[in-house]
Structure 1
Amino acid sequence: MTLDNKTAIITGAGSGMGRATASLFAERGANVAVVDLNGDAATEAVSNIEATVTDADAIAITADVSNSDEVASFIQRTVKEFGSIDVLHNNAGIPQESTPVENVTEQTWNRIQDVNLKSAFLGAKHAVPYMREQGGGVILNTASTAGIRPRTGLSAYAVSKGGMITLTKQLAHELAEDGIRVNAICPVATDTDMLPEFTGDNLSVNAMAETIPLGRLAEPSDIASAAAFLASEEASMVTGSVLEVDGGRDI
């Protein structure tokens, strides 16, 4: 699954699933723009790529993916740096501490929708004109099993990820004639630093793991492998799909 001569933007790539995906894309031959709100994390991720991947070409960009101007800017910068945008991976997201719906604040609700869902709309809005002009591209959206089988206490998060799934299907239909494929990845609970932030009085990491038939949490590399497939030409007939990387959680 080569990505030679492709340029990929990966948001939320300073850590976790995004960082693993950026590294794998670079290993497969892609130019990579590592975008993260945490600029130090983005820089560290790029340094790691450069230290481990021969002839890697990666740049670090600090940006808030919920801000339209900043999204437009990092897409424009990537095109200027590498000459194209072949893959946009809308991966950035924030968790929700397990909270009864009546205790969820409007501020929390709005922030989760902005970062987890509006960001993907903004990414598509600003990337599609470049992709259309160059004759095609790939958009990948990180959704979640919570968008398919919600958990108690995650109302805002589950809605944001359900919306991501619907947005993926809408864009896949709308952009097919432009040669732009759009797919979503639905990870189950994944062993990252963010995972404990989902816990609360009624939800623990162990409880999450116990609901996964394969008997383990996902690893960031599991998600990266799925993204690499969907971004490659081997998935050239795949669009509008929701790939569950879930160890059987959604059965």
Structure 2
Amino acid sequence: MDAAFVTGGTGALGRAVTRRFLGDGYRVAVTYRSKEEWTALEKEHARHAGEGALIGLECDVTQEEPVRRAVAGAVERFGALRVLLHLAGGYRGGQPVESVEEKTVRGMIELNLISAFWAAKHVIPHAKRAGAGRLLFISSRGAVEYYPGASVYAAAKLGLFALVQTLAKELKKSDVTVNAVLPSIIDTPANRASMPDADTSAWVAPEQVAGLLAYLASRDAGSTSGALVPIYGRA
């Protein structure tokens, strides 16, 4: 049975991805910061959790040592990891560069880019050993289309794409592929609350993103690496 390591697995997208991969027969290790969110996810998948197919690992993904420990904990429980699903990230924008604060710059880059380095670094050896390893990252449409006030987010997500393409070349001779998925607006409660007048029918459902990730994680996707795959819906 394949095993996946999921960062950001307790958010709206993470819950959909966790649900899809458990349904596809994976064992899933989810990192979390909020105990309340993890408890809710564990309750939703009580059978899988009871069988040991779903585990939670408290982890600050912006720091290397907690990520190393979380990956080691997942391998200890599952014996192997074939897939990384790096969903952790976040947006804090709306400010031009001339007024953006240092804590915003550092926080956004640490969460959206540096976290990806640590996740990749510590999962790669296990993905190599498992065979048909897959490293998958959530980037954003904002990595290729730029808007006023979103400079830090855009820089971090574009940096993530550079990381993905570099990793794809570094791992070219292995059986590990590396790709990023580029959503537009995902239909989540938080996005609905922040954009109450938007046409949500044009947005991308979390389940659609999960389905794309499921294909890219499959052994059928072995010829795709270094790609930034758009999933825009009609937005």
Aligned to 2:71: 75
Instruction: Describe the SS at the equivalent of 2:172.
Output: helix
Aligned pairs (5 A) from 1:226-241: 226-241=212-227
User: Which of residues 8, 11, 17 in structure 2 aligns to 1:15?
Assistant: 11
Aligned to 1:31: 27
Amino acid at match of 2:185: A
Residue 48 (structure 1) aligned with residue 44 (structure 2):
yes
User: Which of residues 214, 217, 223 in structure 1 aligns to 2:209?
Assistant: 223
Aligned pairs (5 A) from 1:162-177: 162-177=158-173
Amino acid at match of 2:71: I
Q: Give the whole-Å Cα distance in 2 for the aligned partners of 1:219 and 1:41.
A: 20
Aligned pairs (5 A) from 1:151-170: 151-170=147-166
Q: Following TM superposition, by how much is the alpha carbon of 1:20 offset from its aligned partner in structure 2, in angstroms?
A: 0.5
Q: Give the whole-Å Cα distance in 2 for the aligned partners of 1:242 and 1:10.
A: 19
Q: Give the whole-Å Cα distance in 1 for the aligned partners of 2:67 and 2:35.
A: 15
| Cα deviation 1:84-143 (Å, max 9, x = unaligned) | 011011110111132222221111011110011001111111111222334441100100
Question: 49-58 or 173-182: which moved more?
Answer: 49-58
Q: Give the whole-Å Cα distance in 2 for the aligned partners of 1:76 and 1:61.
A: 10
Aligned to 2:98: 102
Residue 182 (structure 1) aligned with residue 178 (structure 2):
yes
Which structure 1 segments of 5+ residues have no match? Answer: none
Instruction: Describe the SS at the equivalent of 2:173.
Output: helix
Query: Structure 1 residues 224, 143: CA separation in 2 closer, same or farther (over 3 Å shift)?
Result: same
Amino acid at match of 2:136: L
Verify the 8 A CA contact 2:82 2:127 in the aligned structure 1: yes
Which structure 2 segments of 5+ residues have no match? Answer: none
Q: Give the whole-Å Cα distance in 2 for the aligned partners of 1:51 and 1:126.
A: 29
Q: Give the whole-Å Cα distance in 2 for the aligned partners of 1:206 and 1:230.
A: 33
Residue 144 (structure 1) aligned with residue 130 (structure 2):
no
| Cα deviation 1:39-67 (Å, max 9, x = unaligned) | 22123212212358996710011111001
TM-score, normalised by the number of residues in structure 1: 0.86
Question: 88-97 or 240-249: which moved more?
Answer: 240-249
Q: Give the whole-Å Cα distance in 2 for the aligned partners of 1:180 and 1:139.
A: 7
Verify the 8 A CA contact 2:4 2:82 in the aligned structure 1: yes
Identical amino acids, percent of aligned pairs: 29
Query: Structure 1 residues 81, 52: CA separation in 2 closer, same or farther (over 3 Å shift)?
Result: closer
TM-score, normalised by the number of residues in structure 2: 0.92
Verify the 8 A CA contact 1:34 1:46 in the aligned structure 2: no
User: Which of residues 89, 100, 107 in structure 2 aligns to 1:93?
Assistant: 89
- CA RMSD of superposed structures (Å): 2.2
Question: 132-141 or 172-181: which moved more?
Answer: 132-141
Q: Following TM superposition, by how much is the alpha carbon of 1:206 offset from its aligned partner in structure 2, in angstroms?
A: 4.6
Q: Following TM superposition, by how much is the alpha carbon of 1:229 offset from its aligned partner in structure 2, in angstroms?
A: 0.7
Aligned pairs (5 A) from 1:109-128: 109-128=105-124
Verify the 8 A CA contact 2:10 2:37 in the aligned structure 1: yes
Aligned to 1:57: 53
| Cα deviation 1:170-214 (Å, max 9, x = unaligned) | 1011112121110000011112244368x6xxxx5656x59xxxx
Amino acid at match of 2:161: I
| Cα deviation 1:194-242 (Å, max 9, x = unaligned) | 4368x6xxxx5656x59xxxx6111111111111110011212111111
Query: Structure 1 residues 248, 169: CA separation in 2 closer, same or farther (over 3 Å shift)?
Result: farther
